[in-house]
Amino acid sequence: REGRSSGTPDPKLPRNRLGKRPPGAGRPLSPSDPIEELLKEVTLKETKKKKIDAFLHEISSLLSAIPETPETELTDQAWLPKGVKVPFLQVPFNVKGRFRFVPPTELKVVGSYLLGTCIKPEINVDMAVTMPREIFQDKDNLNQRYHRKRALYLAHIAHHVSKKKLFGSVKFAYMNSNHLKPILLLRPQGKDEKMVTVRLHACPAPGLFKPIRFYPSKNNVRTAWFMEQSAPKEATEPPTPHYNNSILCDTVLLSHLQFLSSAATDFPGMKDGLALLKVWLNQRQLSKGLGSFSGFLASMLVAYLLMKRKIVKMMSGYQVLRSTLQFLATTDLSVTGISLVKDTDASLPVLDDFHQAFEVVFVDPSGLVNLCADMTASKYHQVQFEAKRSMEILDDRMVDGFQVLLMTAKPMLRTFDHVFHLKHVSKLQGACKKMQLLNELMDRGGNYVAAALPFIVSLLARGLARRALLVAHSLPEIPEWPIDAEPPKHKDVGPLMFGLLFVPEFAASLLEKGPQADHPEALDFRTFWGEKSELRRFQDGSICEAVVWEADTVCQKRLIPEQIIKHLLKLHADIPESSVCYMGALLESVIRTGQEVSGTGEEAMVSVVCSYDDLSRKLWNLKGLPLTVTAVQGVHPALRYTDVFPPIPMKPIYSSYNRIRTKHLLLPLEEKPCPAYIAPLKIVCHMEGSGQWPQDKEAIKRIKAAFHLQLAELLQQQYQLVCRPAVTHTDVYKDGYVFRLQVAYHRETLILKEVVTPEGMLKYQDTEESRQLELETLHLPYLTSSLHGLQQQHPVFGSTCRLAKRWVSAQLLSDNISEECVDLLVAFLFLHPAPFTPPSSPQVGFLRLLDLLATFDWKNNPLIVNLNAGLTGEQAIKNRFVAARSRLPVMFIATPKDQWSSMWTQEQPSAQILQRLLVLASESLRAVEEQLMDPFNSQDVKMVFRPPLEFYDVLIHLNPTQIPRHLESVDRPQKSFSRGVLKNSTSVKILFPVVDYDPVQCYLQELRDAFSDLALFFYDKHGGEVIAVLWKPLSFQPQPFKVSSMKGRMVTTLNSELVCVPNVEAILEDFEVLGEGLVKSVEARTEKWTI
Amino acid sequence: MGRGIALAFLYRLLSLLRVQDALSELFSRCGRVQSVDICDKPGTGEKKEKLTSKFFNRKTVTGFQVAYVVFRKPAAVQAAKALSREGPLLISTESHPVKTGISKWIASYAASVVDQEELKAEVDAYMQDYDKKIAEEEAKAAKEEGVPDEEGWVKVTRKGRKPGLPRTEAANLRVLEREKQKKARKELLNFYAWQHRETKREHIAQLRKKFEEDKQRIALMRAQRKFRPY
């Protein structure tokens, strides 16, 4: 059994000589396994069943006592009391036929309740109400007469039962949101109202209709009637398979029950398996709405597999789930349908007839009903895709299959790379006209959504064939309504949502290459793409039809599918662009660079990496160094594509600076706005090990400094690069970037660790200094190169990281959680995407990150990020984690090279910060998903990037002129300042620009140095205008007087004792004094703290 | 001679000299000031070791600092104690401004730029000294090689004709490990009946322990509603 995660394997226990097991070691040794626990959670309790049975009993006695009504014309509905409306859209209204109510001949519970496969959260009990034969006439099969009688029948019942005290609510709903099939919902009174919903289905007396009338090729809705024309024009009427199917469904309710119960006898695994399947479907949002893969369908499928001996009655619930998924994964019912008919009957329609009429085919035991009639091919392909993915997960030993398959919800927003809404479904009416779908419209009883949807989806699927793995749509769903309200219209399904899952290699390609101009298919291509199609000559000399989309930057290219969708919908379905609300890249605006509309920084990142590659080549080839360079490794986030705002080339404008010509450098001027921030791009330059290196830590420092001086000199001489050496590094100005070279010697960490014991033994002990050096020269380069590699496999990895880090920073937490930690969290999403696929858009990646933060159980689990697939088993890490939990960081991230220490989360975040992060994540996720789900909203998704400030004690407002990264703020400032640089230009011979100078960071450093034991300081380093201060409550308690603890405190007397308390007024004044020129005002929120 | 602690907690300021001047001027109203010492924290005034290098191992003190004001006469301390009633004393004045904020950060940025020639000279001088020291040590070691000391012991070094084992922790552990393996090889397993019983008992005890742990874990998960799908 794969996919089971916990539970002890049955141990082969030794027996003693008497053949008896030792006491206490009898089977079953394994405590309950997760699947059994899950089943316990979802199945109905016996006590509830008893209550439900009693309720059902009362209903049936009530229904048989409903009085008859006199016969009237179908259109004469005056007899119906005011408190109830016919639950049917009677369009066109006029129809022949007469109706009267006669109490039902039979009442029978059908469906999952009797089979015991009905599961929480929605307990539905289906009850078939057989309408007596005498209320029907000939030709009731035609023109919705049967449907209308059925609706009137239910309306009368509804009116009658609504007066009874027995029910908490009496409502109508459409069965599976199919508006031809209203049902009546009854719920018990009082606190049991949520317990159960009894659904009344009206069905015809057996043998009322001749089955042959409803074969898929037959017509039962006359065009003249539907179009309200007086005389029939056409001789041949089109087939109405969906209409026929809707009547047939009612005739087989009872026989399906018998069929399923015979399958379920002596088969306990079926019950469990169906419960699991239903949970699986629910988590994937596949089981509700028009054309859903309902629980009933799942039961029939299991019965089919039993019939075909793919499932045997010996199987457990888990095996049933597995076999069913296996079947779904490998069978395409939209191409090769299946049938439950046992003995082939020549008179029955064959599978091909069904394929002609329906997109997905699964024929019931009677051979007449297509159980998948309303399902679109796209929906089935989605089910199939999910099944395939699930089978892969079950076969993967590294994944906790139970958790991923059954416990994780897959809402569309988090599943698909891009989603878009069709805002106004009423536009589909026009689409039906444009696509000439009158026959389909008639067949679907005027439901233009259902009629147009399959065509729209297949249109899009063709247009995106190479780019999208899957084009899926949400299922139209209509909520229940009170019996005195008019039935919902077709447009009441609300906006339709579509989801795209991309093939990362092709999703953003600019070109749609068509057939050669002289080929016959060329015409087809031209009609499909319309004006966009043009003839082009290709490199191989061929002249082909082709469509070329316009996009300059990576972020525009990611939106080519939007262009395609809008174009095709306009061209073929008359749906205007304004009705399509595309949610592909709404969040990306927060990582746009600069003011120019151009891109989201991917291009800038590439050019940084190019410049870095060139520099490292130059370093390798440097002549005249006493030792050779063995490796050049980048450690700056830009060099792994995850820097929130990648550096852009800059050239200083001298007039804005204080020029120090003697030293060849520039200094900021006090009276000018702070210069633009130039981040030094850190690079580690490993030097060859040699006997020439001293083995003493002080001497090594000197030698490294000498190397920094020499590197600067040689780079200047040999490559004319302007350099500025310092003790610990050399800054190199190249292509408008500043690289910060750090020389490293691999034995230095070891030398720093050396300790000689009193006995003269040499020991290695970690020190703060050695740990720091190891992190910088060993671990960070390794992480950087691993993540650089990940970016090569997943082109949106970097942008997702940047979005994530932008959010962390916007929530003022970037100083409390390391960048590397966030990078690893995002890497986890790409390396362990199950049950999803790796993200192909930054937005979906970001949503999943928020979900991960909000739901991951950090207390009890390590997060294992299998970088470079370096781990083969995770159990060892988990065991060790559990054993040492209390001593480990609150957020534990393990990687193949760092299995036990979680080095990037060791110091941060603290437990409180983590807690805050989780709260913010779940709130942000809720808010942003709400925005993305509602196409009528303003879509101000930046909302989750604006931090709540109410909860801080003091706000220090900063002067924008002195904030060098002011332009990076979430809401871009209206006016900006000249910051003394020319962007996107470089120079060779310049005075060295001002590097790594950020007054706000200097200020924060001073604040923390002075007041860290009294307060916490929070700031958005990307252009925040406010520093938020939170007092530490503990340090506000009066403390006994001590000379050493007088920092920031004053002496006062409390109960005639000398104590010291924080001198808040002085501290606030200090805030201003320390930040002279930077601080605009200090806002103390006195109501939040008192002394 | 009296010493008064003026609890002037100072921030890290760029020019300590200027602050010292300012303090001595401030307190001169209480009596003649002999000296002002600035330290990281209150305590017995140990003299700070003198910094040998302009570039290396520079400890930057952060946050609050303490200054000791030493008066010529004890009476001045009493006067200083009375000062606190007059309200805070200001170090930074029109005539003697102390740099804070932007101007301070610009100055410290400027100060962070090193003079290449100076750095080079310092490094060269240090390395010359270091090389000399190492050469001396080596010469001394070479001279003592194989020569017994007063009590007749000969020091074994890694050099020379008979190098000894390196005295490191890793080497020690290696030796211990080897010993252990040797011992294990000699021992017989499951040879005696009691050994057999023992291992069996241990095995079952282990299984039982794991069973109990699993049970607890499941109970915990159930309590946390880990099995509720939605």
Q: Does B229 sit within 8 Å of A279, measured CB to CB?
A: yes
pLDDT at A5 over 80: no
Phi and psi, residue A978, nearest 5°: -75, 120
pLDDT at A21 over 50: no
Tell me whether residue B49 is in a domain: yes
Assembly ipTM: 0.79
Return the percentage of chain A with pLDDT > 70, whole number.
95
| Cross-strand pairs, A669 | none
Q: Pairing relation of β-strands A954-958 and A1026-1031?
A: antiparallel
Separation of alpha carbons A761 and B172, rounded Å? 9
Q: Which residues of A touch B106 (CB under 8 A)?
A: 667-670
Question: Which residue of chain A has the CA closest to B106?
Answer: A668
Separation of alpha carbons A642 and B165, rounded Å? 48
Task: Count how many Cα atoms sit within 13 Å of the Cα of residue A480 in the half-sphere of its side chain.
Answer: 15
Nearest-neighbour CA in chain A from B209: distance (Å): 11
| Cross-strand pairs, A124 | A197
pLDDT at A918 over 50: yes
pLDDT of residue B7: 42
Residue B27 CB partners (closer than 8 Å, separation 6+): B6, B33, B36, B69, B71, B76, B80
Q: Which residues of A touch B207 (CB under 8 A)?
A: 8, 11, 13, 25, 29
pLDDT of residue A818: 92
Q: Kindly state the tokens that stand for A707.
A: 């190397």
pLDDT at A1069 over 50: yes
Tell me whether residue B177 is in a domain: no
The one-letter amino acid at A1062:
P
Tell me whether residue B11 is in a domain: yes
B123 → closest Cβ in A667, A706, A962: A706
Question: Which residue of chain B has the CA closest to A996?
Answer: B109
Separation of alpha carbons B168 and A854, rounded Å? 48
Q: Does B114 sit within 8 Å of A694, measured CB to CB?
A: no
Separation of alpha carbons A461 and A378, rounded Å? 9
Q: Which residues of B touch A1005 (CB under 8 A)?
A: 62
H or E segment and range at residue A652 = strand A650-652
H or E segment and range at residue A63 = helix A46-63
Separation of alpha carbons A100 and A88, rounded Å? 17
Question: Which residue of chain B has the CA closest to A703?
Answer: B123
What is the per-residue pLDDT across A653-667, written as a single tens digit (0 to 9) for each?
Answer: 888 888 888 878 888
Tell me whether residue B58 is in a domain: yes
Average pLDDT, chain A: 86
Q: Does B102 sit within 8 Å of A41, measured CB to CB?
A: no
Q: Are residues B16 and B93 in the same domain?
A: yes
pLDDT of residue A685: 94
Q: Which residues of B touch A673 (CB under 8 A)?
A: none
Q: Report cis status (omega within 30 of 0) of the bond before A121.
A: yes
Confidence of residue A13 (pLDDT cuts 50, 70, 90): very low
> Strand, helix or coil at B219?
helix
Nearest-neighbour CA in chain B from A1006: distance (Å): 7
> Strand, helix or coil at B182?
helix
Quote the crossing angle between the two packed helices A34-42 and A268-283, to the nearest 10°: 80
Q: Does B109 sit within 8 Å of A24, measured CB to CB?
A: no
Q: Pairing relation of β-strands A1026-1031 and A511-516?
A: unpaired
Going across the sheet that includes A1079-1084, the strands are A1015-1019, A1026-1031, A954-958, A1079-1084
Q: Are residues B19 and B99 in the same domain?
A: yes
Size of interface A-B (CB pairs under 8 A): 176
Nearest alpha-carbon partner for A533 in A551, A514, A518, A552: A514
Nearest alpha-carbon partner for A944 in A850, A827, A854: A850
Q: Does B204 sit within 8 Å of A25, measured CB to CB?
A: yes
Q: Does A13 sit within 8 Å of B109, measured CB to CB?
A: no
pLDDT at A741 over 90: yes
> Strand, helix or coil at A961?
helix
The one-letter amino acid at A443:
D
Q: Are residues B123 and B62 in the same domain?
A: no
H or E segment and range at residue A1049 = strand A1049-1054
Q: Are residues B44 and B107 in the same domain?
A: yes
Q: Are residues B105 and B134 in the same domain?
A: no
Q: Does B9 sit within 8 Å of A763, measured CB to CB?
A: no
Burial class, A938, CB count within 10 angstroms (exposed 0-12 / middle 13-18 / buried 19+): exposed
Q: Are residues B27 and B120 in the same domain?
A: no
B167 → closest Cβ in A40, A705, A761: A761
Tell me whether residue B181 is in a domain: no
Confidence of residue A917 (pLDDT cuts 50, 70, 90): very high
Tell me whether residue B204 is in a domain: yes
pLDDT of residue A399: 82
What is the per-residue pLDDT across A484-527, written as a single tens digit (0 to 9) for each?
Answer: 888 998 888 888 899 999 998 888 888 888 888 888 888 888 88
pLDDT at A264 over 90: no
Tell me whether residue B125 is in a domain: yes
A727 → closest Cβ in B12, B56, B210: B56
**CB-CB contact of A693 with A700 (8 Å):** yes
What is the per-residue pLDDT across A705-719, written as a single tens digit (0 to 9) for each?
Answer: 999 999 999 999 999
Q: Which of B91, B126, B227 to mutate to test the interface with A (most CBs of A within 10 A)?
A: B227
Q: Are residues B88 and B133 in the same domain?
A: no
The one-letter amino acid at A825:
L
Separation of alpha carbons A997 and A979, rounded Å? 12
**CB-CB contact of A835 with A410 (8 Å):** yes
Nearest alpha-carbon partner for A1050 in B218, B153, B84, B168: B84
User: DSSP for A392-453?
Assistant: HHHH-TTS-HHHHHHS----HHHHSSEEEEES-TTHHHHHHHHTT-HHHHHHTTT-HHHHHH
What is the per-residue pLDDT across A642-654, written as a single tens digit (0 to 9) for each?
Answer: 999 888 888 888 8
A962 → closest Cβ in B102, B130, B170: B102
Separation of alpha carbons A321 and A928, rounded Å? 34
Buried residues in A269-298 as b, exposed as e (16+ CB within 10 A): bbbbbbbbbbbbbbbbbbbbbbbbbbbbbb
**What value does the mean pLDDT take over residues B86-110?**
78
Q: Is B51 on the interface with A (CB under 8 A)?
A: no
pLDDT at A75 over 50: yes
**What value does the mean pLDDT take over residues A185-199?**
85
B100 → closest Cβ in A406, A670, A1073: A1073
pLDDT at A761 over 90: no
Q: How many CB atoms lie within 10 A of CB A862?
A: 21
User: How far is C-alpha A459 from the geometric centre of its chain's CA atoms?
Assistant: 25
Separation of alpha carbons A824 and A713, rounded Å? 38
Tokens 């001394």 belong to B140
Nearest alpha-carbon partner for B225 in A920, A117, A834, A40: A40
Nearest-neighbour CA in chain B from A783: distance (Å): 28
Q: Which residues of B touch A705 (CB under 8 A)?
A: 55-56, 119, 123
pLDDT of residue A498: 93
Going across the sheet that includes A124-131, the strands are A106-110, A124-131, A197-204, A182-188, A167-174, A481-482
Tokens 């996107």 belong to A984
Q: Does B167 sit within 8 Å of A762, measured CB to CB?
A: yes
Angle at A598 between CA A597 and CA A599, to 5 degrees: 115
Q: Report cis status (omega within 30 of 0) of the bond before A675.
A: no
Q: Are residues B107 and B198 in the same domain?
A: no
Q: Does B41 sit within 8 Å of A1044, measured CB to CB?
A: yes
pLDDT at B6 over 60: no
* Least confident interval from A479-483, A573-577, A586-590, B24-28: B24-28
A726 → closest Cβ in B63, B114, B204: B114
Q: Is B111 on the interface with A (CB under 8 A)?
A: no
B168 → closest Cβ in A725, A762, A1070: A762
What is the per-residue pLDDT across A216-248, written as a single tens digit (0 to 9) for each?
Answer: 888 888 888 888 777 666 668 888 999 999 999
Using the 3D structure, point to which of B70, B93, B112 is the last residue of a domain.
Answer: B112
Q: Which residues of A touch B123 (CB under 8 A)?
A: 702-703, 705-706, 709
Phi and psi, residue A784, nearest 5°: -60, -45
What share of residues in chain B are helix, strand, coil (percent, to 5)? 50, 10, 40
SS3 for A154-197 is HHHHHHHHHCCCCEEEEEEEEHHHCCCCEEEEEEECHHHCCCCE
Quote the crossing angle between the two packed helices A241-251 and A253-264, to the nearest 10°: 60
pLDDT at A29 over 50: no
The one-letter amino acid at A60:
S
Range of the domain at B214: 192-225
H or E segment and range at residue B177 = helix B169-186
Nearest-neighbour CA in chain A from B208: distance (Å): 8
Q: Is B88 on the interface with A (CB under 8 A)?
A: yes
Q: Does A709 sit within 8 Å of B119, measured CB to CB?
A: yes
Residue A1007 CB partners (closer than 8 Å, separation 6+): A1017, A1027, A1071, A1074
> Strand, helix or coil at B85?
helix
> Strand, helix or coil at A323?
helix
Separation of alpha carbons B17 and B38, rounded Å? 10
Q: Does B113 sit within 8 Å of A663, measured CB to CB?
A: yes
**CB-CB contact of A959 with A1078 (8 Å):** yes
Separation of alpha carbons A859 and A892, rounded Å? 9
Q: Are residues B134 and B215 in the same domain?
A: no
Tokens 């019965």 belong to A303
Phi and psi, residue A568, nearest 5°: -65, -40
CATH assignment at residue B96: 3.30.70.330
Q: Is B87 on the interface with A (CB under 8 A)?
A: no
Q: Kindly state the tokens that stand for A644.
A: 């929130």
Q: Kindly state the tokens that stand for B179.
A: 């010993």
Q: Pairing relation of β-strands A754-756 and A737-744?
A: unpaired
pLDDT of residue A20: 39
pLDDT of residue A968: 85
SS3 for A621-633 is CCCCCCCCEEEEE
Q: Does A667 sit within 8 Å of B208, measured CB to CB?
A: no
CA-based max dimension of chain A = 114
Nearest alpha-carbon partner for A38 in A212, A278, A285: A278
Q: Is B168 on the interface with A (CB under 8 A)?
A: yes
Q: Does A997 sit within 8 Å of B105, measured CB to CB?
A: yes
Measured in residues, chain A has a length of 1091
CA-based max dimension of chain B = 96
Q: Could you give the number of structural domains in chain B?
A: 3
Q: Are residues B124 and B135 in the same domain?
A: yes
Chain B residues 20-39 with a CB less than 8 Å from chain A: none
Classify A943-1084 by CATH class.
alpha beta
Q: Kindly state the tokens that stand for B147.
A: 């020569």
